[in-house]
Amino acid sequence: MSIKESAYILRLPFIRNNYEECAKEARLKDMSFEDFLEELLKNEVELRTRNSIKTRIRRAKFPYQMILQDYQREHLSIEIRQKIHELETLEFIDNKQNIILIGNPGTGKTALSIALGTEACQQGKKVLFVSIPTLLIELKEAMNQNQITMYKRKFESYDLIILDELGYCTFDQERGEILFNLLSSRNEKGAMIITSNLTFDRWNEVFKDQVLTGAIIDRLAYMSYLIDMSGDSYRTLATKNWNTKNGSTTNQ
C-alpha cells in the first residue's frame, strides 16, 4: 500500500497531498527523519485545526461574516467598550453566563453577537446562531413531530446559543410558554447571547403575559451582562467610515 493510500485511509489530507514535496525539501535541508516527521505532522494538525474552525463557523449558521478585529466600536461609550473587551476573553461561555444586547435597530447588536460567536468557533466552542422567529418555527415543528425532547437536548449541547431579534414578533401564550421552557432548560447550563430592540419594560409587548415576562427576564438577567447599545446607527457609521476610507463624496 502506498503512502498516499495509507494517508487517505487514515484521513491525513496534508500528508497525502504534500508528502513528496515535503520530502524533497527535507532532503535539500538535510533534515533528520524526526524533524521531517515532526514538520509533516505539524502541518497536518494545522490543516485539521483550520478545517475544524471552518466547519464550526459553517454549522453556527451566521447570517454574515464578522470578526472582533473588524467590529467598529468607536461610537460606543467607554463603559461599553470595556465590557466588550472583557467579553472577548470568552470567560462568559465557560461561566455559562448570558449577554443581553439591547438597542435600536442598526446599533450593532447582531454584528457584535456574530463577532463573539465567530471568536468562540475559533476557540473550539460549539455555537448556534438563530433568530427568534426561526427558533419558534423549529420548536413548533419539533412539537408536531413529538421530537421536542430531542430538540431541547440538541439545544443544550451548544457552548453558546445566539438568539437574535427578540422583539420583532409577538407570541401567543402557547409559543411564549414554549420559549420560556426552552430558555429555562438552557439557562445556567450554557451561555446565551440575546439581542433585542426592546428594553425589559417593553418585553411584555412580545410575550403578552406579565407573569411569564417577569419569569423570563428573571431567568435570563440573573448574573448576565446587560449592554444598552442605543445610539448612532452602526450601519450608518460603517458607511461613513467606508466612504472616508475610499474617498467618496456621497452626502450622508
Q: Are residues 102 and 222 in the same domain?
A: yes
Which residue, of 21, 37, 59, is where some domain finishes?
59
**Is residue 208, in this structure, part of any structural domain at all?**
yes
**Is residue 229, in this structure, part of any structural domain at all?**
yes
DSSP string, 168-211: SS---HHHHHHHHHHHHHHTTTSEEEEEESS-GGGTHHHH--HH
**Is residue 141, in this structure, part of any structural domain at all?**
yes
Q: Determine the pLDDT at residue 231.
A: 59
Q: Are residues 51 and 169 in the same domain?
A: no
Q: Are residues 49 and 158 in the same domain?
A: no
Domain of 141 in residue numbering reads as 63-242
**Is residue 71, in this structure, part of any structural domain at all?**
yes
Q: What angle do CA 169, 224, 199 make, to 5 degrees?
A: 35
Q: Which long-range contacts (CB under 8 A, 24 or more apart) does 229-233 make?
A: 229/76, 229/80, 229/101, 229/102, 229/103, 229/107, 229/108, 229/109, 229/112, 230/102, 230/103, 230/104, 230/107, 231/75, 231/76, 231/103, 231/104, 231/107, 232/75, 232/107, 233/104, 233/105, 233/106, 233/107
Count how many domains the chain has: 2
Q: Are residues 114 and 201 in the same domain?
A: yes
Helix (H/G/I), strand (E/B), else coil: 126: coil
- Does residue 127 contact residue 160 with C-beta atoms inside 8 Å? yes
Q: Are residues 21 and 42 in the same domain?
A: yes
Q: Determine the pLDDT at residue 38.
A: 93
Amino acid (1-letter code) at residue 15: I
In angstroms, the CA 7 to CA 17 distance is 9
Q: Determine the pLDDT at residue 249.
A: 39
Q: Are residues 47 and 155 in the same domain?
A: no
Q: Are residues 82 and 11 in the same domain?
A: no
Q: Are residues 78 and 53 in the same domain?
A: no
Q: Are residues 74 and 51 in the same domain?
A: no
Q: How far is CA 202 from CA 4, 102, 156, 190, in A?
A: 62, 11, 28, 26
Q: Are residues 30 and 14 in the same domain?
A: yes
pLDDT tens digit at each of 252 positions of the chain: 899 899 989 999 999 999 899 999 999 999 999 999 999 999 999 999 999 999 999 999 999 999 999 999 888 889 999 999 999 999 999 999 999 999 988 889 999 999 999 999 999 999 999 999 899 889 889 988 999 889 989 999 999 999 999 988 877 778 888 888 888 888 888 999 999 999 999 988 888 888 988 998 998 888 899 999 885 554 444 444 544 555 543 333
Give the CATH number for residue 208. 3.40.50.300
User: Model-level pTM?
Assistant: 0.83
